Structure 1
Amino acid sequence: GRSLQQLQEENQYLRRSIRELQRSSQADQLRVEQLTEELLQRRRREEQEAQDLESMVHSVEQNLTQMTVTARHHGRCSLETLSSGINIIHI
């Protein structure tokens, strides 16, 4: 069999290996937590950017609608002014 000294050395080696594996596991766990948090932050940022973009598109649509209404109104006013001018000329 193995001597007491060999068993003690093997025991020390195994304990060292366990400590190294625990440190490595803790480092991996910390990295997973960091990456998870980073992913969550990116998702939040992307969601916010998507909401901002939607809001901007909605605002542009509203502006275009308002500009169209204003342009139609000005167009009618111009036609009415032109018609009045033509009527005055005929009088």
Structure 2
Amino acid sequence: MSTHNALSGLAPAKINLLLHVGPVRADGYHPLVSLAAFADVGDRVAVRRAEALSLTVEGPFAAGLEAEGDNLIIKALLALGEAAG
């Protein structure tokens, strides 16, 4: 789905064939080296215009996932909003 107000697409599942985590840097992050393959299955992600930022998690495993707080999607959207002004 793609309109002026909404976008939807598949976020393919990633399989790490190799993952090397380096030592902690001064900024608290670790350098990563990864060899990954992507599957034909994954999560369906949809975004649409709204007055406020919100996240809805649906599906068979939704009960075990948080839609706020430490959720990486929310963190990424907040960082994008901050960078975009």
Measured against the shorter chain, the TM-score band is under 0.3
More strand, by proportion: 2
More helix, by proportion: 1
Larger radius of gyration: 1
User: How does the TM-score come out when normalised to structure 2?
Assistant: 0.22
Which one scores higher on RCO, CA 8 angstroms, separation ≥ 6?
A: 2
